[in-house]
Amino acid sequence: MTSSAVFVILLFTLESFHATPNVCVENLGCLQGTFMPGFQSDKFEAFMGVPFAQPPVGELRFSNPKPIKPWEGILDATKARPDCIQKNYLLPQPFVSGDEDCLYLNIYRPTKNDNKPVPVMVYIFGGGFFSGTASPLIHGPEYFMDTKEVILVTLAYRLGALGFLSTGDINMPGNFGLKDQNLALKWVQNYISYFGGDAGNVTIFGQSAGAVSVHMHILSDLSSGLFKRAIVMSGNAGAPYATPISNPLAQARKQAELVGIPDANSMSSEELTKALREIDATKIIESGDGFKYWHVDPLTTFRPVIEEPSPDAFLTVDPSELIASGRYTQVPWMTGMVPNEGAVRALSIISNETLRSDFNNNFDDFIGKLMEFPFTEGVDSKINDLINHYFYGIHELNEKTTQNFVDMITDRAFVQPFYKNIKQYVETADLKNNPVFLYRFNYRGPFSYSTLYTGNFNNYGVVHCDDLIYLFRSPLLFSVDFDKNSVEAKVLKEMVDTFVSFAKTGRPKGTSDSSLAECNSQVMSKTDDNKICSYKEIKNSINGFSVKIDNYFDIAKVKLWDRILNNN
Ligand SMILES: *[C@@H]1O[C@H](CO)[C@@H](O)[C@H](O)[C@H]1NC(C)=O
Ligand SMILES: *[C@@H]1O[C@H](CO)[C@@H](O)[C@H](O)[C@H]1NC(C)=O
């Protein structure tokens, strides 16, 4: 190196060569990251494939996660690691992919000159607890990084049997996927300051099973203090597909039987755990098909369980009891939905002739099973009620009732739990310090997740996951980038700004209108009007898109489902 002028020129021309981002974390080790280009902005720094736990393999399979140990040398954090091994039953042709060694997180940070600690947003992906990815190819950080205002962390957690199987005792306590997330949140608390992050300013957010997870962290003492705010998108811990497994040991025995372990039904839970640790991971995941009564149902075979109290237990009380009583660490939060959430299950049946006719041949039975009634008495008359309400009394799914089928699943699995959750929250929470804000995402652009559910390009409206298209760049799913001046570019900026503003200040963007802040039990008790607390809605309009504050909500749907589920 001669003069500083030459040095500057060298640095300029060989920037990607010389100035690769590096971070050393005390008591852990050094990492080399990489630069990534933004969507509207120049570039930001990425540290991907950062281990936060010891690989959950061998003796650590079906065990609570263990913190990562310090490493020697420089860890290559320039590439994301493989997904947790999974079979994605949401795709038309599910297949097994990923790796058992998968407990890694990705950190994306703006390139900055000052030393001001940056707020942190931690994203927990969805996928029914059996699938999903933290990969930048699907949960791309570009849009968040364009703001230069937050650090984004995306984390992975164990899925399916490997994430949630349990013997109902200490041998295989279960909830491993949630405990992995919890350990990643602890990692963020301990080490994010080395990346410029503000550990006292962490917002967790997640969608679908990720929303259930975020809600579970709110409810779990084990995660208390690990975050300041939360965003719960299209799902919550009171949803039917999140209901804890009632007999985990029976499920573990069945799993063992499915992979051919002899004496699966007579072994002790300790022997069972040992035997299952010997089985090839791919075989375990592949054998998940054996839990299905038809096609991919039930979708969420593996779920959270209620554990015996112990220092490592994540969940020891039924979430619905916790939600109703308000006994948990409350935080300011934001929650919302899209209109056609139920499309995530309905569309694959609707769009496939074989499946639809199969479904119609078992119509009443399958409707009953899909609805997951929390009781067995009087189910037949409930099914009849539903068929009258959604299918005009015709025991068949046809052209006229396809949207109704989507609606029925939306109402059962999303609308009623959403409403109930908010109502119970405002009745029990300290709203002055921990307000709740609502949104509704109702914008349909050129891409939709419905293409993934069906394999076709029909317009099914705004479906489950479509909001993600405006938060994360997803080149693996939608290979064409939005034009930088398109309506979609504006919609995604509105979404990202709403989320980032909430993460920074505890209030979503565009809520200077005080009406949005006043979600309280008074509004939620007026069930004779079709109203809910006001929400921010992003939707299509003649000018492209519009943002408005609304409070319309179809209470009749909630009442229908309250009546059906209360078994009266
Ligand atoms: C319809 O579903 C069946 C059963 O999952 C599958 O085998 C078949 O390939 C599907 N058809 C199309 C056209 O996707
Ligand atoms: C979080 O970060 C924002 C933006 O830097 C800052 O204004 C705010 O005071 C921080 N909040 C807390 C609780 O530290």
Domains 3-32+52-331 and 337-411+437-565 share a fold: yes
Catalytic residue selected from 131, 135, 208, 269: 208
Q: What does the domain layout of the chain look like in residue ranges?
A: 3-32+52-331, 337-411+437-565
Both structure tokens of 17 = 């060569």
What one-character DSSP code corresponds to residue 260?
T
Best of 151, 331, 504 to mutate for ligand 2, by most ligand atoms within 8 A of CB?
Answer: 504
pLDDT, tens only, 12-40:
444 444 478 999 999 999 999 999 999 99
- pLDDT for 567 equals 65
286 is annotated as an active-site residue:
no
Our answer on whether the CB atom of 352 is closer than 6 Å to any ligand 1 atom is: yes
Best of 295, 352, 451 to mutate for ligand 1, by most ligand atoms within 8 A of CB?
Answer: 352
- pLDDT for 512 equals 56
What one-character DSSP code corresponds to residue 545?
E
Q: Ligand 1 centroid to 167 CA: how many Å? A: 35
- pLDDT for 175 equals 98
Both structure tokens of 134 = 């933290």
Our answer on whether the CB atom of 55 is closer than 6 Å to any ligand 1 atom is: no
217 is annotated as an active-site residue:
no
CA–CA distances in Å: residue 274 to residues 21, 248, 271, 424, 529: 43, 16, 5, 42, 57
What one-character DSSP code corresponds to residue 97?
E
- pLDDT for 514 equals 52
> Contact, 255 vs 289, CB < 8 A?
no
Question: What CATH topology corresponds to 3-32+52-331?
Answer: Rossmann fold (3.40.50)
59 is annotated as an active-site residue:
no
Ligand having the closest approach to the CA of 150:
2
Both structure tokens of 319 = 């979430």
Enter the pTM of the model: 0.95
Q: What is the CATH number of domain 337-411+437-565?
A: 3.40.50.1820
Closest CA to 531 of 514, 515, 513: 515
- pLDDT for 10 equals 43
- pLDDT for 513 equals 53
Please report which helix (H) or strand (E) contains residue 269, including its range: helix 269-277
- pLDDT for 11 equals 42
In the chain, which stretches have pLDDT less than 70?
Answer: 1-18, 510-517, 567-568
Q: Ligand 2 centroid to 119 CA: how many Å? A: 7
Tell the burial category of 246 from Cβ atoms under 10 Å away from its Cβ (0-12, 13-18, 19+): exposed
